[in-house]
Structure 1
Amino acid sequence: MTGSTAAKRLSSALLAAAIFLAATCTTAPAAQNKDPDWPCVQPKVTELSLVQVWNGPELPASAKDWSKDKDVSELVDKLAQRRVPVADAQKQIRDFAARLPADEAKDRLPMLVQGLFDRMNAERSQVISGIGRYARKQIELAARLRKERSELDALSAKPDASANEVAARTDELDGETRIFEERVQSLTYVCEVPTLIEQRLYALAKTVAEAMKQRQ
């Protein structure tokens, strides 16, 4: 690939990234996107509140001790894993609720809700922090690629430039540009993860609420 072709490829990649980032900034509500590095269409909400995902009765203070209950803690670990289909996770909740004696259900089901919220809200916050780091690395990579492109253009313009050096640097730039393009494409999917976690949490919490109502 020639230096000119690499430059055109890089220009296209950077233009695509610029359009993508501009679109996300104008589409998301300005009040929600105070972080200039936030690259997603989805508003940046670093933490959820329990009322956003729970429509059941108020949880007792004892629910915060969920991690001290071995069975509840182990179930939270299983249900929070996104590789477990939501339908399977909901069945595990129903089975757990059905096994509980009535006097235990009123304490342990609220613990399950609190445990799911604490675990999945923390995971979601970690993902959002990771997206911010991801976006900053993209900005840094874009700046470095522009600099390397400028240097390559200057080198290629020299009458005595080494053809081998130009070819080597062109190949290197092309490889870095491909990585940049792949990361731009991946960003769209990465941005969906916090929403997917929130939707999963809501679905599981709703299932617990239904189980609690049936046990009343």
Structure 2
Amino acid sequence: MARMELVRGLAIAAALGAAPSIASGAANQSPDWPCIQRKVPELSLGQIWNGPELPAAAKDWSKDKNVEALVQELAARRLPLADAQKDIRDFAASLPAGQADAKLAMLVQGLFDHMNAERSQVISGIARYARRQLEFAARLRKEASDVDALRSKPDADVNQIAAQTDRLAWETRIFEERVQSLTYVCEVPTLIEQRLYALAKTIGEMMVQK
């Protein structure tokens, strides 16, 4: 009995305690946003760029194969930021003086377009993940209730109770692990934004020097 009470307690704690915190991560946010960080679906260029106004031609960055390849390389978080900044400086140093600002402007625009889209995709994924967690929590509540109902029957099958209790314990553990994973995933949009800002700042320094 003590074992079943413990498992049921875990399920109730997960389903009734953790789930509402998932749904209400930040005050006055949409109900499917679970993170403490404020939900900002898209960034504006002005949030990450303090340099000169980018020319309209910068939007054609994807047509320049060198710039496009560099955007992909710099945006990848597996590349240490210091190495990415060095790559920017090397790229700037390799450009003819007459082309430097135009190419660097394309690089800024490319990084913004690419990383802003990546960040938006992550945010959409977090919302979907949170909705699944809420559905999972509802299922845990029902299963915990079913175990209670089964135990209250005088002719209850002990083996069936044990099987359902074990399943409830296992699913509760999965739920709690997903809650923990969500905590880490919530940091990803901020990490992308911080990296984008740092890369844009480095590019701006190169443009000033040129």
TM-score (norm 1): 0.92
Deviations along 1:103-158, whole A, 9 cap, x unmatched? 22121110000000000000000000001001101110000000011011111221
| Matching residue within 39, 56, 66 for 2:51 | 56
Q: Aligned partners of 2:25, 2:132: CA distance in 1, in Å? A: 17
Moved more, 193-202 or 152-161: 152-161
TM-superposed CA distance for 1:21, in Å, is: 3.8
**Secondary structure in structure 1 of the residue aligned to 2:49:** coil
Which aligned pairs between 1:112-131 and structure 2 lie closer than 5 A? 112-131=107-126
Is the 2:15–2:137 contact (alpha carbons within 8 Å) kept by the matching residues of 1?
Answer: yes
| Matching residue within 156, 161, 184 for 2:156 | 161
Is the 2:67–2:106 contact (alpha carbons within 8 Å) kept by the matching residues of 1?
Answer: yes
Moved more, 41-50 or 7-16: 7-16
Match of 1:3 in 2: 4
Amino acid across the alignment from 1:72: V
Is the 2:51–2:204 contact (alpha carbons within 8 Å) kept by the matching residues of 1?
Answer: yes
Which aligned pairs between 1:204-215 and structure 2 lie closer than 5 A? 204-215=199-210
TM-superposed CA distance for 1:55, in Å, is: 0.3
Give yes or no for the alignment of 1:44 onto 2:50: no
TM-superposed CA distance for 1:16, in Å, is: 4.0
**Secondary structure in structure 1 of the residue aligned to 2:99:** helix
Match of 2:25 in 1: 24
* Structure 1: runs of 5+ lacking an equivalent: none
Q: Aligned partners of 1:20, 1:36: CA distance in 2, in Å? A: 10
Amino acid across the alignment from 2:44: S
| Matching residue within 190, 195, 208 for 2:190 | 195
Is the 1:3–1:153 contact (alpha carbons within 8 Å) kept by the matching residues of 2?
Answer: no
| Matching residue within 42, 63, 83 for 1:68 | 63
Q: Aligned partners of 2:183, 2:158: CA distance in 1, in Å? A: 38
Structure 1 stretches of 4+ with a deviation exceeding 3 A read 18-23
TM-superposed CA distance for 1:3, in Å, is: 2.8
Deviations along 1:73-115, whole A, 9 cap, x unmatched? 0000000001111111000000000011112212111000000
* Structure 2: runs of 5+ lacking an equivalent: none
Q: Aligned partners of 1:15, 1:24: CA distance in 2, in Å? A: 15
Q: Aligned partners of 2:196, 2:23: CA distance in 1, in Å? A: 31
Is the 1:42–1:191 contact (alpha carbons within 8 Å) kept by the matching residues of 2?
Answer: yes
Moved more, 178-187 or 65-74: 178-187
Q: Aligned partners of 2:166, 2:120: CA distance in 1, in Å? A: 38
TM-superposed CA distance for 1:15, in Å, is: 4.6
Match of 1:136 in 2: 131
Amino acid across the alignment from 2:6: T
| Matching residue within 84, 95, 104 for 2:99 | 104
Q: Aligned partners of 1:152, 1:61: CA distance in 2, in Å? A: 64
TM-superposed CA distance for 1:19, in Å, is: 6.5
* Count, aligned residues: 209
